[in-house]
Amino acid sequence: MAARRAARTGLNGLFAVYKPPGVASIRVRDTVETLLLKELNSLEQPAVQQQVRFLPTTVEGNAGKELTLTVTQLPVLAAHPLVRGPEFTHLKIGAGHRLDTKSSGVFVLGVGHGSKLLTDMYNAHLTRAYTVRGLFGKATDDFSDTGRLIEKTTFDHVTRDKLERILAVIQGTNHKALLMYSNIDLKTQEAYELAVEGLIRPMEKTPPLITAIRCLQFAPPEFQLEIQCLHETQQYLRKIVHEIGLELKSTSVCTQVRRIRDGFFTLDNALLRTHWNLQNIRNSIQDSKSKVKVGLQRSLSCQARSGKRHTDMDQVAESKLHSTEGMSASDLTHKMR
């Protein structure tokens, strides 16, 4: 019993699995839970409790058969595994940022108090990275290569230089939006330090933002991009591929979306399907504990500092507003001078 409880206690924290394409995220989560429950319940069972009973028996006596009580040990059937059922029937497993059915890659799960850490990761507004494959020459209704074909175009005029110019424009536009949503004064030392550490992030939920985008491979009609982003969906990334094709006076569809990093977790940390077992998951949780703790403290503390600074600025602005109440236009002009 102690060994079974110890095994269950070790399942507290975050770990990452590799989600294959064609499988829903919720099915991956349910599969991991089922495999863990099966293994926990297959661990060595404690001995069935025994109870002392006095059972009537007949023995041969001087006057013939006599009734007597015999001390006997019998198993407590209420505690028998076949009667009470499995000891573990549910595990609290939460899912991080989802991947849609067509996508693959790093999928973060939290077990036990790891569900709270998933919330912290969400509030930290961490970036995620993807490799996205595209194909020039056609457009579909859902921006993927499996959608309904709506247009075919030529792509002979598309070059890598033209593609990279479009990517630079996309990154520049999104960088301006990131600075706007982060509410940071670019002239301050704090802004410089956050930029050096790569911690300039929005304070709240925003539209999808691309923090970096580059071309990894260009072999027309195929190409591959690496995209780092915030608050994205996989369908948004497919739409980006579609819009790149239009900007290049052609068309393009997305053939693959693969997440290679989610916050602190990379492909190296993601457990393959054959490794979804109790020992590997416990090891993965243990290996990531310090990394997750330090990373979350760093990100959330930076946000707390920024939040305090904005609160102070709002208070100063409100104080100035109250100080000008009731003043005439000429007095206000003189005060501004």
Active site residues: 100
Helix (H, G, I), strand (E, B) or coil at 87: coil
Helix (H, G, I), strand (E, B) or coil at 306: helix
- Torsion sign across C-alpha atoms 96, 101, 102, 106: positive
Per-residue exposure over 62-78, b if at least 16 CB sit within 10 Å of its own CB, e if not: eeeeeeeeeeeeeeeee
Helix and strand counts by DSSP (H, E) for the chain? 9, 13
Helix (H, G, I), strand (E, B) or coil at 280: helix
Beta carbons of 155 and 137 less than 8 angstroms apart: yes
Contacts of 166 (CB under 8 A, 6+ apart): 244, 247, 248
Positions of E strands within the chain: 13-19, 50-61, 64-75, 93-95, 104-111, 128-136, 138-140, 149-152, 209-219, 222-230, 252-262, 265-266, 270-271
